[in-house]
Amino acid sequence: MPLAARAVLTDIEGTTSTISFVHEVLFPYADAHLDDYVAAHRTEPGVVDAMLLAAQEAGEPPDADDATILAHLHRWIAEDRKATSLKALQGLIWTEGYRREEIPAHVYPDAVAGLTRWHDAGLRLYVYSSGSIAAQHQLFANSPAGDLRGLFSGNFDTTTGPKRDRHSYEKIARAIGLPPPEIIFLSDVDAELDAARAAGMQTVRLLRPADTPPGATTTHAAATSFDEIAIVSDLPHG
């Protein structure tokens, strides 16, 4: 039986896009360009705010020198730290990389087809990723299938809250304006799905062969691609 909902909230890494794209393309690009980007754009508000936030997140004083903050940021890239300041700077760097056509974006073809199918069926689509909202926009704007941003009704990142915290999903449901049970969350991470389910959302775990460790199991409904996920929007109103 198909799932019934009014909105779909989707993760990116391991869900709409391959993990290798993030770890083997995006992260190294940001790491290689971080110092030069900050130096070239140091007085711009987005960079000023991100560097101040990075100092706070690193436990450094607000007047810490850039070299100290950049050292923390490079370490966080290597650790895949979900630091909001890092995600903001990565989003800015990737935006420039896409503009220069130096980054080939990746979105699974079945994700493109599924998102299009659900959008056309009247479902509202949203993204929730640890990557910044700016980075999300650039990924979907530069997908191999073209600009997909028109499919989405909104985007969320870690400024809403941690992805493994139930309260983040409660906040997203309020922002969307729907009861949590009318929202389906798609992710490849059980801890995120557990938090969404605790908030009352429906959940589906993506077990993509290229992105899933052998023998992985889940307590959530599961699919190997968006082709296997059937969703209808015929919930009763009221």
Question: If phi over 0 gives left and psi between -120 and 50 gives alpha, with beta otherwise, what is residue 143?
Answer: beta
Alpha helices in 100-233 (DSSP H): 109-120, 133-141, 166-176, 190-198
pLDDT at 1 over 80: no
Q: Which CATH superfamily is domain 3-18+106-232 in?
A: HAD superfamily/HAD-like (3.40.50.1000)
pLDDT at 167: 98
Confidence class of residue 216 from pLDDT cuts 50, 70 and 90?
confident
Quickly count helices (H) and strands (E) in the chain: 9, 8
C-alpha closest to that of 93 among 152, 151, 144, 134: 134
Overall fold of domain 22-99: 1.10.720
Beta bridge partners, 154, equal: 126
Helix, strand, coil percentages in the chain from 3-state DSSP, rounded to 5: 50, 15, 35
Mean pLDDT, residues 99-116 taken together: 94
**What is the residue type of 38?**
V
* Nearest residue to 235 via CA among 127, 160, 124, 153: 124
pLDDT at 233: 86
The pTM for the full model equals 0.85
Residue-wise pLDDT tens digits, 133-155: 988 999 999 999 999 999 999 99
What residue ranges do the domains of the chain occupy? Answer: 3-18+106-232, 22-99
pLDDT tens-digit series, residues 2-11: 899 999 999 9
DSSP state of 225: S
pLDDT tens for 168-192 read: 999 999 999 999 999 999 999 999 9
Q: Which amino acid is at 119?
A: H
Same CATH fold assignment for domains 3-18+106-232 and 22-99: no
Structure tokens belonging to residue 109: 């073809």
